[in-house]
Copies of this chain bind each other. A is one copy, B any other.
Amino acid sequence: MTAEPGVHTARPQDSRPALTADTRDTGVDAAVAAARRVIAALLAAGDAPGADLGRVASTLHEVADHLDEHAPPLKERLVTMWAGEGVTRHDPVTGPENAIAPPLVLRGKDDGSVTATTTLGLPYQGPPGYVHGGVSALLLDHTLGVANHWGGPSGMTAELTLRYHRPTPLFEPLTVTGRQTSVDGRKIRTVGAITAAGKVCVSAEGLFIAVQPERPR
């Protein structure tokens, strides 16, 4: 077993520590930010007349080919991506190197909870104009995990229950929160919610077991 993965706790100007990696405006982070624009633009355009989608496809393949040419062997990459601060850079919720992530920037509060605000667009759509219920589950699962890192012992998800109170709107600011509520031996209980305009859209309850996954080396 390795030590508990560290989280990035540099204090930003607002004095509440960011528990997620900072997005840099250069290197792979900047390329990933551009890739997020492409994902959203493809959904916004669809098969729009005038868009040269054949050229778009070939340009994107060229970009992928260039990156693949310079990528280290996967086994080696899995070691470096899980070393040091890398731990929060690749996940599909907060990772600045993962174009699937909105990304969520979670901050720890003095009361032991964590919070983030985000606005989601077309890539995260479920029902027309609303966030996919499974995307809400994805954001909350991760937020509860980070709340454990911030508020007390952390572990692996054993059980997660989501309750959908009202549809979660796209294109409007959402607040995502998490808070550890109890620790009983290795059993950790954590709750969270997604709210829009002060109303709870989705709430979550998680049971986590205090074991740490082994890191590749």
Contact = CB atoms under 8 A, between A and B. Distances in A.
Given A125-B90, A133-B160, A160-B161, A41 B64 contact: yes
Contact residue range for chain A?
35 or more
B97 A127 contact: no
Could you say how many copies of this chain the assembly holds? 2
A10 interface: no
Interface string A47-76: 111111110111111111011111110100
14 contacts: A31-B57, A34-B58, A35-B35, A35-B42, A42-B97, A42-B99, A45-B68, A48-B70, A48-B71, A51-B69, A56-B66, A128-B214, A156-B164, A161-B161
Interface of A: 26-28, 30-35, 37-54, 56-64, 66-72, 74, 77-78, 80-82, 90-93, 97-100, 122-130, 132-135, 137-142, 145, 156-164, 167, 213-216
